[in-house]
Structure formats: structure tokens, C-alpha cells
Amino acid sequence: MSKIFVRLAISILAALVISEAFGQSAASEAAPKLQSFEFIGCSGDSDGKLSKPEVWRVTADKQVSFLTHHVDSCGLEGRRPTLSFNNGTLNLGYELYSPSGMAVMCDCEYWAKFTFGAEASGVKAVTVGGQQSELRGDWPGR
């Protein structure tokens, strides 16, 4: 009878260890919560050298911000930020729209800032609008 109790105790202990491991894994995969979004705008016409989006990580005051830099058509504004998180990769995006309804036939370099709590410090990679980006590290001078 004591063998049955030992086996039962081992089974219960194993189940607890496995459920704890899966619980921590699921919790660590939760998307960081977006605290604020700022569409900074266009810094000028693109010189054609930016082949993929760039992202800088800015850490200050227990917050982690990602400053994004990418190219799109000129004359647009940004709104409605989006994000998803999978396997340590944070995908950031937002809607670009024309407030005047007109399109301009040039490319512009756009900037936006996404700010999260300290939980975003574990982000391993960032994409912008689904495009692989270059995570540049900390913002220079910060």
C-alpha cells in the first residue's frame, strides 16, 4: 500500500512541476502592454539607403520604448497602433493615412515611438509592420 502512495505522490509532484513550467512559459509569452504611442512624423525625403526598418530601444523610468524608423509614401499621418508578440519577437505597426486624401509621389522617412512597461525589456527582436527590422540597441546618448 505504501508503494501506491509513493507512486501517487510522485505523479502529483510531476504534474505540479509540469503545470508550473507550462504556466511560466505561457506567462512569459504574454505581449507587453502598450502604455503609449506617439507618431513623430516624417523627418524628410528618403535618400534610398534605408532598406529595412530600424528600431532603437530606449530604457528610462522603468519603461521601455521602441523608436521605429521606416520608409513609406510622403504626406501621411499615423494612428491606431498595433502589436503582437510571439517567441520573443514584438511586431509593431500603425495605420498610415492621408488626412487630405491626396497621395504624394515620393518616399519619406517616418518615426514613431511605442512605450511599454519594464516587462518589455525581455524583447529579443522587433519587426515593423511585419517587416524584419534591425534592432539597433540603445538610443545614442540616452
What is the tens place of the pLDDT at every residue in 72-114?
888 899 999 999 998 889 999 999 999 888 877 888 889 999 9
The yes-or-no verdict on residue 10 having pLDDT over 50 is no
Q: Are 135 and 82 within 8 A, CB to CB?
A: no
- 95: which residues sit within 8 A by CB, 6+ positions away? 78, 79, 80, 82
Residue 142: pLDDT band with limits 50, 70, 90 = very low
Q: How far is CA 57 from CA 97, 99, 104, in A?
A: 26, 30, 31
| pTM, to two decimals | 0.72
Cell of 55: 528600431
Residue 16: pLDDT band with limits 50, 70, 90 = very low
